[in-house]
Amino acid sequence: MKDQFCAVVTGQSLITHDVRDVKDERFIAVADFLRQGDVVFTNFESTILGKHGGWPTKGKYFGYSRAEVLDALQAIGFNALALANNHAFDLGAGGILSTLEEVEARGFLHAGIGANETEARKPGRRRLGAREVALLAMDAGPGPTNMYAEDRTAFRPARPGVNRLNTVRKMGVPDGHFRRLARLGAHLQSSPFELTNYAQPEDPVEVADTEINFYGTVFTQAADFGRLIEVDQRSASVQLSAIRHAAAQGDFVIAYLHHHHWEPGWQDVPRWVQTFARMCIDAGANLFVSHGAPVLQAVEIYNGSPIFYGLGNFLFHVHPDETEWDPPEVWQSIVATCRYDAGGNLAEMDLLPVVIGAEAQSLGSATGRLVPVAVTGSAARDILEGFATRSRAFGVEIEVSSACGRIAVPAARKFG
């Protein structure tokens, strides 16, 4: 008979300020909630400026952190970090190496970046509570090729970077419009040399006969207009193989996906993410978590395992000039506990609604939105009822109260 086990998951943590001095009782209540977990997980949405140095690799949405923010995350209660995301390479290879060094020095379970592709793909593994926990973290873009790790070849040195799940974005176009695009492309792409000259490393290498590669944008024939994301099956098979291997060892396996292929309604779940998440569960993952869209999406329980399609933000230290983050849903999220019984079955799930910077708290930052705080009353109900509505489409019923939510767990699958 095995001991009970608890996994706690949160929104992503884009943290640039040390928040250990924050004494707000509602924030302390959040930290107390986190500490129920044997594994307490977030995505570290940044990169460390440390002894390996680095330089900005982009303009807008660039950011980095000092190593003390990792101490802050540890003090809050986190012991597991995904590192694969669009900010991981903001300081280039130096930031990757410094982040690895500082995270490892603090003993976090971590995954998602590495000194080369082999290392970046490797799941992290650590004993937490009574379980061996394995974490696989990947990023599906869109992002420039140079942010993703590569192994050494006879002609190229290794590149430190992020574990990549290869995807291709295509624009679906009805037949008549597709034919007009083909004629336009024939006029504007004067020669194969011109197309090659403008090509970027992340452009698709080849397309089908029913598709057009127009300077890196792929158009494909479809019944209606729409954006389509396709996961490269060879890339997916590598990630799924790592999950199977960890599951075969009896580990509690967390699969993490970061991506920015959002739907026009950014709280909607992309269909390709649902398909891939279920593939991860079928391969042996016990828990699937995704971030990227900075909003709360939905949860599904598939074959007895939770799938959090988008948990939004837990810490979100953005530049005050970035007004695109004004919508209130950006600052609302939940913290979820997933409790497993001694037989390895998912037994219950509790949901704590939180708001970053609730009630205009003033905590010393430029925006007054340093930390998440627990909310009650109508604010809690609004968050939980919206989450429940979106999750109901995935067959999940959530019992909502004025302070928390609880998920009725169907017959569960054992792990271990």
Which among 221, 301, 290 is positioned nearest to 260, based on CA atoms? 290
How far apart CA 153 and CA 374 sit, in angstroms, is: 50
Instruction: Check pLDDT > 60 for residue 411.
Output: no
The residue from 214, 229, 244 where one domain ends is 229
- Report whether 266 contacts 313 (CB < 8 A): no
Mark which of 200, 229, 258 sits at the end of a domain: 229
Looking at the fold, whether 381 and 281 belong to one and the same domain comes out as yes
Q: How far separated are the first and last CA of the chain, in Å rounded?
A: 11
Q: What does the pLDDT look like over 337-366, one tens digit per residue?
A: 999 998 889 999 999 999 998 554 443 343
Flag the least confident range among 11-20, 28-37, 144-153, 205-214.
205-214
- For residue 180, the model assigns a pLDDT of 86
Structure token pair of residue 6? 């608890």
> What angle separates helix 271-283 from helix 233-248, to the nearest 10 degrees?
30
User: Is the domain of 242 the same as that of 211?
Assistant: no
pLDDT digits (tens, 9 = 90+) for 208-217: 877 888 877 8
Residue range of the domain that includes 370: 5-150+232-407
Shared domain for 219 and 70, answered yes or no, is no
12 and 52 together in one domain: yes
Cα–Cα dist 137/344, whole Å: 23
Which pLDDT band holds residue 185 (cuts at 50, 70, 90)? Answer: confident
Instruction: Mark whether 312 and 394 lie in a shared domain.
Output: yes
